[in-house]
Amino acid sequence: MDKKIINQVINIVGPENVLTDNEERICYSYDGTFKRGIPDIVVFPGNTQEVVSIIKLANSEKIPVFPRGAGTGLSGGSIPQANGIALVMTKMNKIKEINENDLLAVVEPGVITGHLHQEVEKLNLFYPPDPASLKTCTMGGNIAENAGGPRAFKYGVTRDYVLGLEVVTPTGKVMRTGGRTVKNVTGYDLTRLLTGSEGTLGVITEITVRLIPKPKYKKTALVIFDNLDDAAKTVTVVISEGVIPATLELMDRITIACVEKNTKLGLPLDAEAILLMEVDGSDAQTTEEINIIQNICKKNNCRRIEVASTFEEREKLWKARRAVSSAIVQLKPTKISEDATVPRSKIPEMIRRLREIATKYNLNLPVFGHAGDGNLHPNIIADKSDKEEMERVEKAVSEIFEAALELGGTLSGEHGVGIMKKPYLEWELGEVGLEYLKTIKKAVDPNNILNPGKIF
């Protein structure tokens, strides 16, 4: 990058907020995928005005800008490219307001999601979205990718909690969308157009989210099934009985084997599925709901059911689920984490298709995830240094997407498109849909400054 421009950037944010050394730039070249891209320069803005100045400079000089939070994304959405600016939002990390009466919080984009959880829960409030990376990921990244998590089944995803945004547009203007009320139909829903737009339509500089009262009680059931279809049927019946668990997680046989190998929790290696179901709410409600769940599991041929009410008991049941991510990467070092999502009734069929794909390409493919909303996480565990294997991975991924779409599902339930799913986007959106997206992008960002090369 031109030395003159680097000096202009330093003038805007100060030398302490600019990195140009190779070793330092490498630290901002990654995300949660195996893709890499080293930016020319790394910039940490401290406030909205600095973001405006950076974007104006980039727009006039036609320099691409790659906004990023903690870099935990699973689709390559924040991976920089050469000759661009990595705009790291982590220094804008203040919780500006938690309002108990209006049930909302106002935060800067660099606030860590788990930190917001802690602060609002001290006031008996609740911010439901809980992506697996919540201890490190940022709110800005959560909005940009429309993050989900296990609690999404009952409580919805990030989109359902964003009330308003402050955004710096691709031409460097400050825009406010939405506001402080849940209901708002004034003009197009720019708040939700920006949510999930993967940093391509604006840089998020302030976020207003809706909070809800914290549920007072939780009860948890870990249920073992000999037969996958019985587990899937249990999910359907529980929901049709009107019980919406806060968590409804499924693990398949391979996932169980990986977890057991690493944790020695005593999980049965011959079971086809484990369901982890957690209900929350009032005492009466959770008691009633966990009883209904137990009865349904028994009627649907579960092998064993363990129920927990206390914190300690619950922690024990959650151990297996929490161990999944670290357990499966013991097989091989590279995890390709997909999130193809199908209508709930198609879960058994999808899992069968995934088994076939794993066998066909001789790959490790544990499946776990959010059974309530059909948002499975087929994870291919491979070694990126093994070129031949990675070619098989690529073919398998393509077939996973095909299967999901054939079953009426989607390429991505919560990870986004980024660069990983870009080649497949037209399969789902069609030519007209893709064109409509591009038309919006081109109109809003005529110089293609913001996160170019992502989504399409």
Applying CB under 8 A, does 10 fall inside the site for its own copies?
no
Among 159, 319, 332, 355, binds its own copies (CB under 8 A): 159
Applying CB under 8 A, does 169 fall inside the site for its own copies?
yes
| # residues near its own copies by CB under 8 A | 96
- Map residues 288-327 to x or -, x wherever contact with its own copies holds by CB under 8 A: xx--------------------------------------
Q: Which of residues 334-393 bind its own copies (CB under 8 A)?
A: 341-346, 370, 373-375
Shortest CA distance to 57 belongs to which of 91, 7, 20? 7
Applying CB under 8 A, does 409 fall inside the site for its own copies?
yes
Among 8, 35, 119, 156, binds its own copies (CB under 8 A): 156
Q: How far is the CB of 79 from its own copies (least distance, A)?
A: 17
Largest CA distance in the chain: 72
Q: How far is the CB of 345 from its own copies (least distance, A)?
A: 4
**Residue 89 to residue 75: CA distance in whole angstroms:** 19
Q: Which CB atom, from 71 or from 416, has the smaller least distance to its own copies? A: 416
DSSP strand E in 25-141: where?
A: 41-43, 65-68, 85-88, 95-99, 104-107, 125-126
Among 94, 182, 295, 299, binds its own copies (CB under 8 A): 182
DSSP strand E in 2-139: where?
A: 18-19, 41-43, 65-68, 85-88, 95-99, 104-107, 125-126
| Amino acid letter for position 357 | I
Applying CB under 8 A, does 48 fall inside the site for its own copies?
no
Applying CB under 8 A, does 282 fall inside the site for its own copies?
yes
- Map residues 74-113 to x or -, x wherever contact with its own copies holds by CB under 8 A: -------------------------xxxxxx---------
Cβ count near 434 (within 10 Å): 16
Tell me 6's DSSP state: H
Buried b (16+ CB within 10 A) or exposed e, 113-143: bbbbbebbeeeebbbbbbbbbbeebbbbbbb
Q: Stretches 57-65, 254-262, 384-392, 425-433: which one binds its own copies (CB under 8 A)?
A: 425-433
Q: Which CB atom, from 20 or from 169, has the smaller least distance to its own copies? A: 169
Shortest CA distance to 305 belongs to which of 244, 242, 219? 219
Q: Stretches 38-46, 192-200, 249-257, 301-309: which one binds its own copies (CB under 8 A)?
A: 192-200
Shortest CA distance to 2 belongs to which of 48, 10, 26, 16? 10
Mark residue 196 as left, alpha or beta (left: phi above 0; alpha: psi -120 to 50; beta: remaining).
left
Applying CB under 8 A, does 423 fall inside the site for its own copies?
no
Q: Which CB atom, from 26 or from 212, has the smaller least distance to its own copies? A: 212
Q: Which of residues 241-260 bind its own copies (CB under 8 A)?
A: 241-242, 244
**Residue 67 to residue 202: CA distance in whole angstroms:** 9
